[in-house]
Amino acid sequence: MIVYAIFFAAICFALGLLMNLWRLIVGPERSDRILALDTMAINAITLLILMGMHLGFALYFEVSMLFALVGFISTVSYCRFLLRGDIIE
């Protein structure tokens, strides 16, 4: 039962990744593209956790923690670059 639930959730989040990719390519504004990248990072975190559950391997939490850090830093630095023309003034 858990295996099917894990597959269901993984399919949901993978479909979400495809939708975010559509918004990233089409998105009429730069803020839409940044938002799509941020949501892609969150969906990837969830997929990594699901993969860790499926394989029964606890190391994937550290991987998803690193993914959360990198996604946050990239979003903030891109926004700051667009807002101020510089990242660290």
Residues that bind another protein (CB under 8 A): 1-2, 4-6, 8-13, 15-17, 19-20, 22-23, 29-32, 34-36, 38-39, 42-43, 45-46, 49-50, 52-53, 56, 58, 61-62, 64-65, 68-69, 72, 75-76, 79-86, 89
Query: Mind spelling out the 3-state secondary structure of 57-86?
Result: CCCHHHHHHHHHHHHHHHHHHHHHHHHHCC
Q: At its nearest, how many Å lie between another protein and the CB of residue 15? A: 6
Q: At its nearest, how many Å lie between another protein and the CB of residue 84? A: 5
3-state secondary structure (DSSP) of residue 37: helix
3-state secondary structure (DSSP) of residue 53: helix
